[in-house]
Homo-oligomer: A and B are copies of this chain.
Amino acid sequence: MSTATYTVTGMTCGHCVSSVTEEVEQIAGVTGVDVDLPTGKVTVTSDAPLDDAQVKGAVEEAGYQLTS
Protein backbone atom coordinates (compact mmCIF):
# COMPACT_ATOMS: atom_id res chain seq x y z
CA MET A 1 0.00 0.00 0.00
CA SER A 2 1.35 3.36 -1.08
CA THR A 3 0.12 6.93 -0.78
CA ALA A 4 1.31 9.90 -2.78
CA THR A 5 0.09 13.48 -2.91
CA TYR A 6 0.20 15.66 -5.99
CA THR A 7 -0.86 19.24 -6.64
CA VAL A 8 -3.10 19.92 -9.61
CA THR A 9 -3.84 23.38 -10.96
CA GLY A 10 -6.85 24.49 -12.95
CA MET A 11 -9.63 22.68 -11.13
CA THR A 12 -12.46 25.12 -10.44
CA CYS A 13 -15.52 23.05 -9.60
CA GLY A 14 -16.88 19.65 -8.71
CA HIS A 15 -16.93 18.61 -12.35
CA CYS A 16 -13.19 19.22 -12.53
CA VAL A 17 -12.69 17.10 -9.42
CA SER A 18 -14.73 14.30 -10.99
CA SER A 19 -12.74 14.45 -14.22
CA VAL A 20 -9.40 14.19 -12.44
CA THR A 21 -10.64 11.47 -10.10
CA GLU A 22 -11.97 9.37 -12.96
CA GLU A 23 -8.76 9.58 -14.96
CA VAL A 24 -6.43 8.84 -12.04
CA GLU A 25 -8.62 5.94 -10.88
CA GLN A 26 -7.98 4.27 -14.22
CA ILE A 27 -4.25 3.87 -13.50
CA ALA A 28 -3.44 0.23 -12.78
CA GLY A 29 -3.02 -0.42 -9.05
CA VAL A 30 -4.80 2.72 -7.87
CA THR A 31 -7.17 1.94 -5.03
CA GLY A 32 -8.28 5.43 -4.04
CA VAL A 33 -8.23 9.06 -5.16
CA ASP A 34 -9.05 12.00 -2.91
CA VAL A 35 -9.17 15.51 -4.32
CA ASP A 36 -9.28 18.69 -2.25
CA LEU A 37 -10.60 21.36 -4.60
CA PRO A 38 -9.51 24.51 -2.72
CA THR A 39 -5.87 23.42 -2.48
CA GLY A 40 -5.69 21.25 -5.59
CA LYS A 41 -4.15 18.45 -3.52
CA VAL A 42 -4.78 15.01 -4.99
CA THR A 43 -3.99 12.09 -2.72
CA VAL A 44 -3.63 8.78 -4.47
CA THR A 45 -3.48 5.43 -2.74
CA SER A 46 -2.28 2.40 -4.62
CA ASP A 47 -1.15 -1.18 -4.20
CA ALA A 48 2.41 -0.24 -5.07
CA PRO A 49 4.28 3.05 -5.59
CA LEU A 50 3.06 4.79 -8.74
CA ASP A 51 5.00 6.07 -11.69
CA ASP A 52 4.59 9.85 -11.38
CA ALA A 53 4.62 10.14 -15.15
CA GLN A 54 1.47 8.03 -15.30
CA VAL A 55 -0.25 10.28 -12.79
CA LYS A 56 0.88 13.33 -14.74
CA GLY A 57 -0.50 11.78 -17.91
CA ALA A 58 -3.85 11.04 -16.31
CA VAL A 59 -4.17 14.56 -14.92
CA GLU A 60 -3.31 16.05 -18.31
CA GLU A 61 -5.77 13.70 -20.00
CA ALA A 62 -8.44 15.19 -17.74
CA GLY A 63 -7.35 18.65 -18.91
CA TYR A 64 -5.34 19.88 -15.93
CA GLN A 65 -1.72 20.34 -14.92
CA LEU A 66 0.38 18.72 -12.25
CA THR A 67 2.68 21.10 -10.40
CA SER A 68 4.46 18.73 -8.05
Contacts and interface: CB of A to CB of B under 8 A. Distances in A.
For this chain, the copies found in one complex come to: 2
A contact face: mostly helix, strand, loop, or mixed: helix
A46 B12 CA distance: 31
Nearest to A16: B13
Nearest to A13: B12
A65 to B, nearest CB: 14
A19 interface: yes
- Going nearest first, the 4 A-B pairs with the smallest beta carbon separation are A15-B15, A12-B12, A12-B13, A13-B13
Interface of A: 12-13, 15-16, 19
8 contacts: A12-B12, A12-B13, A13-B13, A13-B15, A13-B16, A15-B15, A15-B16, A15-B19
